[in-house]
Structure 1
C-alpha cells in the first residue's frame, strides 16, 4: 500500500509502511548507513504527517517483515490480544499519541491495553512524540517483577551491580561486588560479563556469588552473562543459576546471528523455572537489546533500527523477564552518532518497552569514539530517572575495565535517588539497614574496618 502527503505543489509518496516508518524516524546514523533515513528535514516531517493518519489496525494487516519468513513477526501477530486492543482499535497513530497523553489514560488503563499493542504500533507513535511525551507516558507505565526482591515499583530505582574483570579473577570481581554493596547497589542483579566461556570459570563465578548471597542472606539475584546454551549446560551440571541471560533482537535473522531462536529461549526459560530458586516470584530471564544490532547482523530487512529494536521487546515479553535493558550507546557511533542521538534512542527504548509491558532498564553508556561525553550521559540518566526507569548499571568508577566503555557508577545511582527521591527494592533496602550499610532513611552510613562485609573479604 502506498502512503502519500502533499505539501504545496509537491507530493511525497512512500511505497510501504516500513519505508514510511523509516522516513519518519528522528535522524540517526544507523538509518543513514542503511540507506533508510529521510533525505531532508522536510521529507521527515511529511512522513510524520502521513504516519499520523495511519490506522493502528493497519499494523495488523501489513507486516513489515513477511510472516512466512520471520518467527518474530509470527510471534507478534499470533500472540496479539484482540480484546486488549479493542479500546484503541479505532485510533490512528496520531490519535493514539493524543490518547496516551490524556490524564485519564492512567497506569491501569495502559496495563490493560499493553498486550494489544504491537511493537510496530509503539515504534510508530514514538516517532510522533517529543522527548517530554516519551517521559510522561513511560512514567505512567507500571511493570513490576519479582525473583528474590521486588523491582519496578513506583518511586523506586534498582541497580545492576556489574563487577566485571578482564581476566575473570574471582578476588577482583568480589572486590567490585563489595564496593557496590557498600554503596547500596545490586538490587536489580549482580551480573558479570565474563571474559572467558570456559565452563569451569563460569561455574566458579556462579558459585562465588551464590555463596556470598547465602552467607549474608542478601535478597538479590545473580547472573553470568554468557551464551544461553552455556547456561543450559550449567543448569544440567548443577550450577546455582538465578537468572538466565541472553542478548536478543527483533528479527529472526539477527537472532540467528546470536546463535538463538525462540525454541532455544523456551528451553532456557523452562530450565530456569525448573530450579525454583525465586522466593518471591518466577521472573527468571534477563535480556539485553540495542538499536543497530539488526543492521550490524545484516538482518534488518529494510526496517529502521528503532522499529527493529521495538520488535525485540515482543521477544522479551513472551518470556516474562525479571529485567530487560537497552545497551543504548554501546554498539557505537555507526548507529547512534552523538549524544543527542543516544539520548533520544534511550528515551524511545524505555517508552516502547514499558508501553508493551516489559520491565525496562538502560545501560546509559557510550564508547570512546562516539561524539558524546559524560555530560550527555548525565542528561540521559536524569531524563530516564524522571521517566521511571526500572534500573541502571552500577560500575566502579563508571568505567568497565573488561568491556572498555563508559557507563554509570555507584555514585550516579546515589545522585539519581537523592535528586528524584527514589528508593531501592524494598527487600534489599531492609537488608542494607539490617547490615548497618544505610540509615533508616536510606542514606549511606560511614563504614568502619570492622564491618562484617569487609572482614569477610
Structure 2
C-alpha cells in the first residue's frame, strides 16, 4: 500500500491508499457522500485528480482496490488481464493515458485491440480526470458490435429496447405496448419485459407470447423476460423459447451475492441459452443491467467509490460476451445520484468505461420521481449519448414505466435523436420496417392515422 500526496501551494493533501485517492478524485455524487468516502471539498477533489493523473497505469495491477483473496471479481479482473494487449500503454500514467485516448491517430481499431489489456480500475481512473466532451469523444471512437437476430453497435446506428412492462403482466396490455413500439420503429435491441413476478410459469407464458409475435411477423429482433438467471435456466429446462438470459450484476462478489448470483451461476445461464442456438446472425445470448450505487446499497462496496465499482461490473459482463449491457443510470435514486447534473455525468462515464473495456453499452436514460431531475436533463443526456455512439437506449410508452414507477425515454425520444444525429436502426430491423410499410424510403415513420397496409395485412392474416 502507498500514500499519495499533492501540494496545492497552500495545503498538502495526503491520500492513504489508491482506493482513497480514487474515491476523492471522483466528481461529486451523493452515493460517495453517503458512504463517507467522498472528498471533503472541491479543492481536495482537484488535488486528488491531479495526484491521480500521475499514477502509473501498471499500479492498478500491483495494488487491487479489493484484495484478490477476498473477491472473485478481483480474481477475474487480474486473471483475465491480457499483458500483450496492455503493452502499448503499459508505461503510461493515468494523465498520459487520457492524452493517448484523445489523440486523433488513436481510433476504433486500436481501442478494440487495447480493451483486453485494460482493467476497470484503469478506465475508471482516467474517466475521473476527463471532461464530458472527452467522455463523448472517446466513447464515439469505441465500437463494440454484437449480434443475435440483428447486428447492434454498428457506426451510424442507434438501437432501442422496446419495454412493454405491465403491472399485472396482462398479455393484452403488453401486446398493445409492443404494437405501439413497433409502429415507432422501436425494438431492434430487444423486446424486453420486466415481469411483475418471478414465477416460472408466468415467465414461460410471456416467453411463448413474445416468440409467437416475433415468429408471426418475421421480426429480426430478439426477446427477453428480465427474470432472475436461475428462473431463466428453469424456463429453458421446461422448453421455453428463450432468446436472451438476463441478470442484474454488480462489481463485487458480495454485491452479486446480494443478487443471488456468482460467476458460476452466470456461466450456467450463458451455457443454457447457448445450447438453444436460436440466433440467426450471431450467438451473443446474455443481457446484463448495472447501475452506480448497487454495491453500496447491498453493503458490498469495500470502501470503493461507486463509479469504480460500476466499471468493475463491466468486467463481469465482458466475461460472458453479452449481446446487451446497460446502466440503469438514475434508477436507484437520489441517495446515489442526487440530481440531473450527477445523472448526466454518470451516464457518460458508464458508457465510456463500458465501451473502453469492450462491452456493448446501452444506457437507460432515467430518473426516479424523487430525484432533482426532469425530462430536460434526460434530453441532454440522450443527445450526448447519441453523439457518443451509445449502442441502444430504452423505448417505453410516454416515457413513464407504469410498472417500475420511474421516468425513462419514450419511443418518440429515440426517433428524435435518430433524426437529429442521422442515426438508423439495426440494418436487418431497418429493412423489416421498410418492408412492413412502417418507414418510408428515407427511413422516416410513414404512419398517418392508420396502420401501414403491409403491417395491417400481416395483423389480419395472423388474426384469421
TM-score range, shorter chain: over 0.9
Task: Calculate the TM-score normalised by the size of structure 1.
Answer: 0.99
Q: 2:284 is matched with which residue?
A: 283
Task: Report what 1:124 is aligned to.
Answer: 125
Q: Is the 8 A contact 1:332 1:369 kept in 2?
A: yes
Which residue number in structure 1 is paired with residue 457 of structure 2? 452
Helix, strand or coil at the partner of 1:68: helix
Secondary structure of the corresponding residue to residue 294 of structure 1: helix
Residue 370 of structure 1 is matched in structure 2 by 371
Instruction: State the match for 1:320 in structure 2.
Output: 321
Counterpart-to-counterpart distance in 2, 1:323 and 1:173: 22
2:435 aligned residue: 434
Question: 5 Å matches for 1:2-151?
Answer: 2-151=3-152
Residue 202 of structure 1 is matched in structure 2 by 203
Which residue pairs with 1:391 in the alignment? 392
Match of 1:158 in 2: 159
SS at match of 2:365: coil
8 Å Cα contact 1:21-1:51 kept in structure 2? yes
Partner Cα distance (1:446, 1:394) in 2: 18
2: distance between equivalents of 1:434 and 1:116?
43
Structure 1 counterpart SS, 2:70: coil
Alignment of 1:349-368 (within 5 A): 349-368=350-369
- Cα distance in 1, alignment partners of residues 426 and 377 from structure 2: 27
Tell whether the 8 Å contact from 1:178 to 1:453 is kept in structure 2 after alignment. no
Q: Separation in 1 of the partners of 2:376 and 2:318?
A: 32
Moved more, 432-441 or 162-171: 432-441
Per the TM alignment, residue 438 of structure 1 is displaced from its structure 2 partner at its CA by: 0.8
Counterpart in 2 of 1:240? 241
**How far did 1:8 drift?**
1.4
TM-score, with length taken from structure 2: 0.97
Does the aligned pair in 2 maintain the 1:155–1:421 contact within 8 Å?
yes
- Counterpart CA distance in 1 for 2:447 and 2:235 is 39
Distance 1:453 1:407, change over 3 A: farther
Shift in Å, 1:330: 0.3
Q: 1:446 Cα deviation (Å)?
A: 1.9
After TM superposition, where is structure 1 displaced by more than 6 Å over at least 4 residues in a row? none
Q: Distance in 2 between matches of 1:192 and 1:301?
A: 33
Matches within 5 A, 1:278-317: 278-317=279-318
Call closer, same or farther: CA 1:453–1:305 in 2, change over 3 Å: farther
Q: Secondary structure at the match of 2:160?
A: strand
Q: 1:452 deviation in Å?
A: 3.0
Alpha-carbon distance, 1:289 to partner = 0.1
SS at match of 1:287: strand
* 1:30–1:305 Cα contact (<8 Å) kept: yes
What SS class does the counterpart of residue 429 from structure 2 fall into? helix
1:304-326 deviation per Cα after TM superposition (whole angstroms, max 9, x unaligned): 00000000000000000000000
The answer (yes or no) to whether the contact 1:2–1:16 under 8 Å persists in 2 is yes
Contact 1:294 1:305 in 2 (8 A): yes
Is the 1:123–1:352 Cα contact (8 Å) retained in structure 2?
A: yes
Q: Distance in 2 between matches of 1:440 and 1:165?
A: 34
Q: Deviation per CA, 1:141-172, whole angstroms, max 9, x where unpaired?
A: 01000000000000000000000000000111
Alignment partner of 2:56: what SS? coil
- Decide whether the 8 Å contact of 1:160 with 1:393 is kept in 2: yes
Change (3 A) 1:69 1:207: same
Unaligned runs of 5+ in 1: none
> How large is the Cα RMSD of the aligned pairs?
0.9
Q: For the Cα contact (< 8 Å) 1:159–1:189, is it kept in 2?
A: yes
Corresponding residue for 2:401? 400
2:259 aligned residue: 258
Match of 2:43, SS?
Answer: helix
Cross-structure match for 1:249:
250
2:335 is the counterpart of 1:334:
yes
Shift of 1:47: 0.2
Q: Which runs of 5+ in 2 are unaligned?
A: none
Q: Once the 2 structures are TM-superposed, how far is the Cα of residue 200 of structure 1 from its aligned partner?
A: 1.6
Q: Secondary structure at the match of 1:196?
A: coil
Shift of 1:358: 0.2
Indicate the SS of the match to 2:143. coil
Residue 201 (structure 1) shift: 1.2
Partners of 1:201 and 1:80 lie apart in 2 by 41
2:187 maps to 1:182: no
Quote the offset at 1:453 in angstroms: 5.3
CA drift of 1:333 comes to 0.1
